[in-house]
Chains A and B, each alone.
Chain A
Amino acid sequence: MNAIEVQNLHKSFAEIKAVQGVSFNVSQGEIFSLLGPNGAGKTTTISMLSCLLKPDEGDALVMGHSIRKDPNGVKSVLGVVPQDIALYEDLTARENLTFWGKMYGLRGLPLKKRVNEVLEVIGLSDRANGRVGKFSGGMKRRVNIGVALLHKPKVIYMDEPTVGIDPQSRRNILDNVVELKNQGMTVLYTTHYMEEAQELSDHIAIMDHGEMIACGTHEELVQIVGEVDRITLTISMLTGDTDTGKILMAWRAIDGVREVSTDEGAITLLADDSHRVLPPVFEVASANKVRIIGADIQEPNLESVFLHLTGRALRD
């Protein structure tokens, strides 16, 4: 049984189609990322899978429980780490965890013990009696994650858990996510940071404008852009009589360069290995009295996949 099976989900708000025909499967024990820019429909998808929103069409199964027919069953196996810090800021970390533990059905000594365990996991045992409102952003995020772990869910949704925090806290969170997988949890992770999706995920689905535009492992997705490096050059002519067409042909002739194109003054080269072709590129430029004043190298990654599929950068 897959941990999550999403079948043709649709959701609209008035005339805005937030999610259009999204389908994917998540195997048990894997980390699955939904990658896309802001407004792509990731949070709406998560909200439907959390039974917060009713889909207009389609259904999904979470550990075999339908989000339409058995929302309580879904909630019993689910932990959710929302994008916002969904905590009570005038309560302490311990009080927050205790309250949420009760909401998840834990009581008495097992609850107390579990709260202590979670405080240990998130590294806040020494700040347990501090008010959450006085915590740093990173600490709040850790408590936010801790709440979702209290009842040892089989599936956990994490909606952009690293937004707006410092690099060290971000690192801690990413390490925690990997640890969750090691403990057998299935993680559905949404982010607009390509590097997070690349680092963490067994499978990645790319979303844009409510649609899923690609889905697969990192290697499978990168294949979409053909595993070529993209080199973007900014040049200036040293003399007025330099033949631009000639230099473009010269670059095209370099071994390893697959394609050369120009766009609004920038020259783009697609190459098998940018490190190997760059020296001859500079030599050709120098021989033709062209100065390269800028060179941007983009190795095949999800950013380039997104760019290739949508014509836009993942982060505007």
Chain B
Amino acid sequence: MIRIFDITSKDLLQLLRDRMTFLFLLIMPIAFTFLFGFAGGAFSKGGVDPRLLVGFLDEDNSRFSQSLHDNLAKSEVIRLEEGNTRADLESRVAGEKLAGAIMIPAGYGRAVLNGKPIRLTLIADVSTPAGMSVESEALTAAIRLDSAVRTAVIMEQVAGDKAPFDYTYQKALSAWQDPPVRVTETTSSAIQTQDKSVQALSHTSPGMMLQFAIAGLSTAAQIIVTERKSRSLQRLLTTATARIQILLGHYLAILLLIFCQFLLLITFGQIVLHVNYLQAPEATLLVAFSSALCISALGLLIGMLAKTEEQAVIFSLIPMFVFAGIGGAWVPLEVTGETFQAIGHASPVAWAMDGFKNITLRGLGLRGVLLPTAALVGYAVLVFVLATWRFYTAEEK
């Protein structure tokens, strides 16, 4: 057993003396995380308000038009921008600088108070989703205001001084903030609390970490190849060291290296990039460890298959591109079609990405990473068995 650790520590000593190890495992993933994150909209100044920009013009200037303005300002769908004139609003809507515009005509307040019908003016293309959203918000706000006024008027008529208009009106308006029936979201609040910058990095950070973990296997695989070429492996086999001890020694070295890489990059992601890995630390640890198990097994297999150091490099780069590409390390699988998503999940990277993003983007915990973890461990076992078979059946001499 102790021979396994001896081989592991020897391998780690060799790996840490190779500058390429640091290049692939730390520097490149950090650099590419920034690159791809920047391309995905991270680091944008001031953040972006995703709400629809809607022009607003109040020609009434009454307390009721002000109330309508205040209600619309609280919308989670539209964001108001004051307009100067109708013509100005029309031209900006036509020029697609605004999703729409709402104009309150003069006399609106008096008409609402007296229960007379009056129309708001909406400038929008209601055949588009944006136009429909603006219309919906405007109607909702107008209806709520009208019902609050009606309620206050009726109450005053019925109860007199016991239900003064102003009191009842404010109470009715605020009641809309907490309606008896409401639709609530069942998904996590992780996305809602993150700005777009962090969302982009929540994808690229694990993506680049996984991609360059695979690329970095070349240095570990080269150690195994060189050991075989220099006949040091054959020399090992003339000692009392069993083949399985040699195999496990190499595997453990790669596993420790990859896992430490993950821990460093996760820490970097958490502290510098504000990717919320640690909102479920045990889940993050589980995904990181199972990913490391899988990628390490791949490194072992590459070391067993490659006959030269150059082949070790090629055999590392090919799976890096293939697994990272189809596995969603570059482009999120969520934006691809169903068929591609299914194909993508043939790659262990896809499962690892699912695991990490379930934590960082979807706010899930341990239960949300159990399936990805199981898939990754399954891959690890399969690849390890292949590597073992290759090691035992390879030419003895």
Contacts and interface: CB of A to CB of B under 8 A. Distances in A.
A121 B17 CA distance: 29
The SS class assigned to the A binding surface is loop
A112 interface: no
A83 B234 CA distance: 11
B14 A90 contact: yes
B19 to A, nearest CB: 12
Given A50-B238, A103-B239, A84 B14 contact: no
Most chain A CB atoms below 10 A, which of B17, B231, B234, B238:
B238
A90 B12 CA distance: 12
15 contacts: A52-B237, A52-B396, A75-B238, A78-B238, A80-B235, A84-B231, A86-B230, A88-B14, A88-B227, A91-B10, A95-B13, A100-B239, A102-B6, A103-B240, A105-B240
A85 interface: yes
Given A53-B397, A91-B10, A103 B236 contact: yes
A104 to B, nearest CB: 6
Contacts of B230: 84-89
A82 interface: yes
A22 to B, nearest CB: 17
Given A52-B238, A103-B3, A91 B232 contact: no
B14 A103 contact: no
B225 to A, nearest CB: 13
Give 10 nearest A-B pairs by CB, closest first.
A86-B235, A84-B231, A86-B231, A103-B239, A86-B232, A102-B6, A80-B238, A50-B238, A99-B10, A82-B231
B3 A102 contact: yes
Nearest to A51: B238
A95 B230 CA distance: 17
Contacts of B6: 99, 102-103
Contact of A90 (B2, B17, B237): B17
Interface of B: 2-3, 6, 10, 13-14, 17-18, 226-227, 230-232, 234-241, 396-397
A82 B240 contact: no
A101 to B, nearest CB: 10
Contacts of A100: 235, 239
Contact of B14 (A51, A78, A82, A91): A91
A76 interface: yes
A262 interface: no
A165 B232 CA distance: 20
A273 B122 CA distance: 127
A75 B242 CA distance: 11
Nearest to A73: B240
A182 to B, nearest CB: 24
Contacts of B236: 103
A84 B397 CA distance: 12
B230 to A, nearest CB: 6
B344 to A, nearest CB: 38
